Structure 1
Amino acid sequence: MAGKEATVYILDLGQSMGAKRHGRDQTDLDWALEYVWDKITNTVATGRKSALMSVIGCRTDETDLYGIMEEADGYEHLHVFTELKHGYLLGDIRKLQDYFKPSKTNEGDLLSALALAVQMIDKATSGKNGNPLKYDRRIIIVTDGRGSLDTEDLEQIAIKIKSPDAPIQLVLLGVDFDDPDNGYKEEDKSSEKEKNEQTLKGFVEECDGMFGTLAEAIDQLQTPRLKETRPVPSFKGQLTLGDPEHYDSTLTIDVERYPCTMIARAPTASSFAMRTDLGDGSAAATSAQSSNTITGEDHPMTDLSAVRHQRVYQVENLEEPGTKKNVETEDLERGYEYGRTAVHISESDMNAVKLPTDQSLSLIGFVKAESFERYLPLSRSNFIVPQKANQPAQLSLSSFIHALYEADCYAVARLVTKELKPPIIILLVPRIEQEWEALVDVELPFEEDMRRYKFPPLDRKLTVSGKVITEHKDLPTDELTDAMSRYVDALDLSTFAEDDEGNPSEYAKPEDTFSPLVHRIGHIIRWRATHPDPSLPIPPPPPILLKYANPPHDLLEASKGELEALKKAAKVSKVPPKVKGRGKRNRAERDKPLSGLDIDALLGNPKRVKIDSSNLIPSFKNALAASDDLETIQEAADSMSSEIRSLIKNSVGDSGYGRALEALRVMRDELTELEEPEIWNAFVRGLKADILEGKLNGNRKDMWWKIRGSRYGLVDRKRSLVSDITEEEAAAFYNTT
């Protein structure tokens, strides 16, 4: 986990922040809130209890010091909205939204708000004995610099901020402040603001802080921030070569194992239910709660309650046939699926097949680096480093790492992370950097994990008799191979970009690319938290997430010549689009051969194909493909419906229901694709009536429940645009009343 931190935001809410300047469509305060909300919502999204946060408003209409100190001269028009605390929730954000409005005054001292923030941080991050705790302390100020400044106590504040025992990082962002690095200078600036800018800049530099403009900070918000985590060791023990339990002449090094790479996953959605205690307490409101869920804690400012799942195990009740009874978890036995049968294995048998293991990391062999196949690793990578503050271990592991590096070898080891855990085989790769050394490990497969597939060669064909053919229509020619090679070289990204000095550099470096899924979902969640109105459209994704979604346009333009040569060498021709729907029935234009001959006439193919009950589905498809006449399609559908009814009628129990369901699926899909849903809808209405009225040889309602469960009902407008059935009618069709 990340370290502890305490952050206080000082936001200028003066009357001057309500103005729109320099052609912007939003006020200075709304512009500043883009940065403030992004920072606050990022902290809230982490849910860390070690992240303290507070907000102070400066130049507000009223004064509220939240009990931090008694009101005194110089602290007027300051509003402490919350104390330094963790656990900010959506309700806190809603309250801050109500407060973040331009005031009706320009009175208030920004440096007094800074002194108050220093006092708040000092109080919240000190122990019971008054000594400062280990915290990352930070104060972020956003202002337009148009208020008055009381510079009398600047020196004392700077000394407190730079305290060696509890230093505070100071960040000041100015609205339309001069930025010589980017060549920006505000014209027609008042002398008071210009003086305040110089005062604040000198003060921040004196505190070794960061001074920047709001425009620069908002531009940097487009770049996703990487999550910092404190690594947790997955193994602490000894790296051994030999048997240390029986022999003294063994190599033992105290090491620790930490994750090197981790998979970043997008936030997952949680399940919530409407709170039933918000109504009038009627039975209708109470029954709205799902019977298989238990509501958790209520969420402030919402009418939602978290949903927890309750699992119940049931078995057939032999005393009351047809019913089930609940079984306690402790009465259950573990079973394993073998085909469709549950095989019970007792605990004594499980103990017999378990491999007794002890925590260990032992070397079992070495392999040359050149003979290692890169496709073998199964897991993410980890670092193996020497034990902290253990100089003999550091020296020993460093010697081992350098020996592997100089010999161009990798080590193979057997790892058991915890007692009774199954062992894994890992590969140890030496990694030497300028300031640190480590072993990088990845998991290797066992023989049972290997899947060896044989594929035919790409440069030759082998006949049944063993003859080798090197020239064939399916094999690439030398001309095609050379054209492909030139096209690949033309799309080289390793030198397409330019560095700061104008030299060729790699395009789309791994450190410059971000996961669109992870960061886009997080961006939308944070935005919606501060913009709850559902009528507001979701903002577009930041350009940095889409930058590498497509190849660079200039590179594609430069490689057009190679692409055309490749198309010519490969003899690429345009394939006509697949005809669907009613156009599919136009056999005069469909599948017309280049010769213009009528293949069906030459082969003597019939215009009508009889539905064969022993080959039901293929014969039905052939019947539809034999003619484009609507009468023929209707005849094939009628024959198919008769066969489906026969399957249901003659079924012993539910033995024929599976074939009937598959025939229903094919019939529905084929008629929908031919844009003749009315034929299917008429058939399925009649089939439902025959089943429910018992006209198919008795009670066949089980078949209807299977049809309903497979959703083989009416074809509505959502599935076929030519259907006259609405979605409501299609849903009501499944009712049996």
Structure 2
Amino acid sequence: MADKEATVYIVDLGSSMGDCHNGRTESDLDWSMRYAWDKISATVAASRKTWNIGVIGVRTDETVNPLAEDDGYNNISVLQELGPMNMTAMESLQSKIKPSGTSCGDSVSAIVVAIQMIEKLTKKLKYKRNIILITDGEAPVDPDDDNLNDIADKIKDTQIQLTVLGVDFDDSEFGIKEEDKTAQKATNERLLRQLAGRSGGNFGTIAEAIAELDIPRLKQTRPFKSYDGPLTLGDPQVDPRAMSISVERYFKTHKQAPPPASNVILKTDHASGSQSAQTRDVDRMQGVEPTGGAFASVKNARAYKVNDPDTPGGKKDVEFDCLAKGYQYGSTAVHISESEFNITKIETAKCFTIVGFIHQDKYGPFLNMGSTGLTVAQKLNDAAAMKLSSLIHSLHELESYAVARIVTKDGKEPQLLLLAPYIDVDFECLYDIPLPFAEDVRSYHFPPLDKVITVAGATLTKHRHLPTQDLIETMSEYVDAMDISTFGLDDEGQRTQEYAPVEDVYCPPVHRINQVVRHRVIYADQPVPPIPPILLKYAQPNRNLVEKARSALEDLIEVAEVKQVPPKAKGKRQRDAIKPISGLDVDALLQTPENKRTKIDPNNAVPEFKQMVDNAEDIKTFEEATKQIGHIIRQLITDSLGDVNYDRAIEVMGVLRESLINIEEPGFYNSFIKDLKKRLLSGELGGDRRELWWQVKGAKLGLIDQNMSDVSKVTPEEVAEFYKK
């Protein structure tokens, strides 16, 4: 059964609530209503018809309440009758919450009116009953002690939770004490504290309640049963020795998603007095309340057209019912009729059966998928509890997990679950987690971390890419220095607790969106508030922890020889030129028309190629330099006796590749290397040169991909395919 709640807010609207005190820039009423509006808006967002809210104003200009004819109930008005709250009622209530022009009105009498409202609605039914009083304590309160005792007894008999929140009330635990307090406020504060204490309620300052608004509210959910039936091992209908246990399965964890948004448009007002069709649509649209406001839901309409040469425009409209489903098969659409569509569905029956067992050491946690559930024995079934307990203890003693197939109801898709035993002092269950199917698994092969395998197949355990023993030990010390398991502060200020326990880490997107939506509902014209610090508490490493680990990090940087990588040069004109001590630009002195190089000498290929590229003024010069150095490389290979010239050819290719990357012209190199590969493998460069191609692959002098140059059109997959062929 859904929870039922009845909450009455008593708000002090006296003239003194319109003043600002203790350095605040907003009135006491607006400041106090932060708490009330936040709680009311949370109830509206929950949209529970069993959560009822009422609002009473005390020290109002009018007197509107059921006990108005009795003495002592003047200047008390019921602003919102006790019942479900929606956006319309909330907007109407906002216009009524404003300071009055009077200072008369008894807060204790308002509590009596609230008790009567709650009794009228809840009667003797099971409800959570709450009264929340917000006041500055400046109005006279009836000091009759017998009257206070009677009211306190009535509150306890009705099982009402009374909460008194005062503006600038003294609270030693929270650290608030008002020095220049009036005698009237001090007396009222003492009387209200006594009333809250005698009735078993709460008493505090509104500042503490407002300070706690930023703490996210954790939604308490009821257990949701996802399966109710037998857990089997074998088929009881075939073999009487098969195991069958009556169990119930519930969700243990479930993903919490941020609230979804709805598409709305501004409604257009019509001159006629009748309701527009647009407004009538709102009444039928889920998620948009028909409040007569400025918004209306967006409805989608689709039109389907097919080619028809006989129709004007070459297309004609068709109804949705005339369309057929087509499934993509390559580049072809394959039609399956509705009568044949059943062959795509798996006919399943409700079941929960164990299909095998696996040792805990052979199971990888990376296979966990989805939300966790728990399986317990059927309620009030001692035989099932005994059987399930035997299975749980057997799995625990054998250090094993069970693998089960579950179909929660007939016709639903099957799931594979991993069942893990859990044993506590007074509770036993099987925790389960969904397992992947073959299509869900992606296998990726990575090189080993403890060895290097060369192109020739040799295994190296010492290499510049492998960590040394000194580096491993330094890294271990750094990891230990960043340990947060005992970095949290306890009540005595000692670091003995966990730094970031799970119960204190909140999901920023979920709670931030909820906070912004509530703020927009209450204060439509104000800007969005900043992110609460509690949501960003663990967004950055703790400064003290970083400072503690600084020395270990510096040692790690030194041992690992970490060096800052300079930014990637974007062409020759963005590179910083080296300035000589004399201040003379030697390159400019030498760059005369006669000295501009147009041909590269094969005996001095690398320096002259670099000089030609550095002095190039247009793209044609880059292309000419690439053609000349490419011809030199091919000539080196052709004239090579065996592998004599292979090293030199590899060196020149590396210079060519690096230079074209720096000037952002990878296309020239990619064209060259494709042509070179074709000539090498076909034997055009002086015979069988496949050994040189293996050296090119080992030096990784293949195509320049997008990771190496932003302007390259070659993907890493194409590079891998280029090496394979």
Q: TM-score, with normalisation over the residues of structure 2?
A: 0.75
1:6 equivalent in structure 2 = 6
**Distance in structure 2 (CA, Å) of the matches to 1:449 and 1:144:** 62
**The one of 459, 464, 486 aligned to 1:495:** 486
Q: CA deviation at 1:462?
A: 0.6
Residue number in structure 2 paired with 1:125: 122
Q: What residue identity is the alignment partner of 2:534?
A: I
Q: Equivalent residue for 1:25?
A: 25
Instruction: Pick closer, same or farther for the CA change 1:161–1:599 going to 2, 3 Å.
Output: farther
- 1:2 and 1:230 in contact (8 A); partners too: no
> Whole-Å Cα distance in 1 between the matches of residues 327 and 52 of structure 2?
49
Partner of 2:556: 566
1:29-80 Cα offsets, whole Å, 9 max, x none, are 2221121111111112222222211211111111223xx5664332211121
Query: How far apart in 1 are the matches of 2:90 and 2:481?
Result: 52
SS at match of 2:197: helix
Partner of 2:598: none
Question: What is residue 697 of structure 1 aligned with on the other side?
Answer: none
Describe the shift of the 1:627–1:550 C-alpha distance in structure 2 as closer, same or farther (beyond 3 A). Answer: closer
1:676-721 superposed Cα distances (whole Å, 9 cap, x missing partner): xxxxxxxxxxxxxxxxxxxxxxxxxxxxxxxxxxxxxxxxxxxxxx
The change in CA–CA distance for 1:149 and 1:587 in structure 2 (over 3 A counts) is closer
2:219 pairs with 1:227:
yes
8 Å CA contact 1:335, 1:343 repeated in 2: yes
Asked if the contact 2:262/2:287 (under 8 Å) is kept, the reply is no
Match of 1:415 in 2: 406
User: Which blocks of at least 5 consecutive residues in structure 1 are unaligned?
Assistant: 127-131, 616-621, 637-668, 671-737
CA contact (8 A) 1:608 1:626 kept: no
1:527-676 aligned at under 5 Å gives the runs 527-533=519-525, 536-578=526-568, 586=573, 589=576, 601-602=609-610, 605=613, 608-610=618-620
2:41 aligned partner, one-letter code: T
- Alignment of 1:109 onto 2:106: yes
How far, CA to CA, are the matches of 1:512 and 1:560 in structure 2? 26
Query: Partner of 1:648 in structure 2?
Result: none
Residue 370 of structure 1: how far off its partner (Å): 2.6
Partner of residue 158, structure 1: 152
Residue 208 of structure 1, aligned match among 184, 200, 205: 200
Structure 1 counterpart of 2:363, which letter? Answer: F
Query: Is the counterpart of residue 41 in structure 1 residue 41 in structure 2?
Result: yes
> Whole-Å Cα distance in 2 between the matches of residues 294 and 388 of structure 1?
41
- Return the offset for 1:157: 3.3
Q: Distance in 2 between matches of 1:392 and 1:351?
A: 41
Task: Tell me if structure 1 keeps the 8 A contact 2:41–2:518.
Answer: yes
Give CA deviations for 1:3-22 in whole Å, capped at 9, x if unaligned.
22221111111222223223
Q: What residue in structure 2 maps to residue 74 of structure 1?
A: 72
SS where residue 194 of structure 2 aligns? helix
Contact 2:131 2:161 in 1 (8 A): yes
2:387 maps to 396
The residue number in structure 1 matching 2:475 is 484
- Does residue 96 (structure 1) correspond to residue 93 (structure 2)? The answer is yes
Deviating more after overlay: 437-446 vs 479-488: 479-488
Match of 1:683 in 2: none
Aligned length: 601
**Which residue pairs with 1:453 in the alignment?**
444
Residues of 1 paired with 2:362 and 2:2: CA distance? 40
Alignment of 1:324-363 (within 5 A): 324-363=315-354
Aligned position for 2:369: 378
Give the secondary structure class of the aligned counterpart of 2:554. helix
| Structure 2 stretches lacking a partner, 5+ long | 580-586, 588-604, 627-655, 669-709, 712-725
Corresponding residue of 1:60? 60
Partner in structure 2 of residue 440 of structure 1: 431
- 2:694 corresponds to which residue? none
The Cα RMSD (Å) is 3.6
Q: In the TM superposition, what is the alpha-carbon distance from 1:161 to its structure 2 partner?
A: 2.7
Runs of 4+ in 1 over 4 A off after TM superposition: 68-71, 278-281, 293-299, 596-600, 603-607, 625-629
Superposed, 1:167-178 pairs within 5 Å as 167-178=159-170
* Shift in alpha-carbon separation, 1:436–1:206, aligned structure 2, 3 A: farther
Cα distance in 1 between the residues matched to 2:170 and 2:661 = 78
CA offsets 1:226-285 (integer angstroms, 9 cap, x no match): 11222321211111222122333333222222211121222222111121235789xxx9
- Give the letter aligned to residue 36 of structure 2: V
Which residue does the alignment assign to 1:86?
84
Distance 2:575 2:176 in 1: 70
Following superposition, the deviation at residue 299 of structure 1 comes to 4.8
For residues 375-432 of structure 1, what are the alpha-carbon distances to aligned partners after superposition, in whole Å with 9 as ceiling and x for unaligned?
1111110122222333333343334333333332222111001101121110111223
> What are the superposed Cα offsets for residues 309-330 of structure 1, whole Å, 9 maximum, x if unpaired?
2344433346426444444444
Could you say if the C-alpha distance between residues 12 and 310 of structure 1 is closer, same or farther in structure 2, counting changes exceeding 3 Å? Answer: same
Corresponding position of 1:517: 509
Q: Does structure 2 retain, via aligned residues, the 8 Å contact 1:6–1:136?
A: yes
Cα distance in 2, alignment partners of residues 85 and 585 from structure 1: 75
Provide the C-alpha distance between the structure 2 equivalents of 1:494 and 1:251, rounded to a whole number of angstroms.
43
Which residue of 187, 192, 195 maps to 2:179? 187
State the one-letter code of the partner of 2:358: V
Distance change in 2, residues 1:468/1:432 (3 Å): same
Q: Specify the SS of the correspondent of 1:83.
A: strand
Once the two structures are superposed, what CA deviation does each residue of 1:551-593 show, in whole Å capped at 9, x if it has no partner? 011111111111111222222222333466xxx562552799x
Shift of 1:340: 2.9
Structure 2 CA distance for partners of 1:576 and 1:514, relative to 1, 3 Å: same
The one-letter code of the counterpart of 2:79 is F
Supply the distance in 2 between the matched residues of 1:46 and 1:332 (Cα, whole angstroms). 41
Residue identity matched to 1:254: S
Aligned to 2:465, which of 457, 474, 480?
A: 474
Query: Which residue does 1:639 correspond to in 2?
Result: none
Letter of the 2:207 counterpart: A
Q: In the alignment, what sits opposite 2:305?
A: 314
Work out whether residues 361 and 414 of structure 1, in 8 Å CA contact, stay in contact via their aligned partners in 2: yes
Matched, 1:50 2:50: yes
Task: Tell me the alpha carbon deviations over residues 71-121 of structure 1, each in whole angstroms, 9 at most, x when there is no partner.
Answer: 4332211121111222410x4333333222222212111122112212222
Shift in alpha-carbon separation, 1:396–1:108, aligned structure 2, 3 A: farther
Post-superposition offset of 1:294: 9.7
Instruction: Check whether the contact 1:273–1:295 (CA below 8 A) recurs between aligned residues.
Output: no
Residue 628 (structure 1) shift: 12
1:237 aligns with 2:195: no
AA in 2 matched with 1:601: F
The structure-2 alpha-carbon separation of the partners of 1:603 and 1:337, relative to structure 1 and needing over 3 Å to count, comes to farther
Q: Which has the larger radius of gyration?
A: 2
Distance 1:210 1:168, change over 3 A: same
Hey, what's the Cα distance between the residues in 2 that align with 1:234 and 1:432? 22
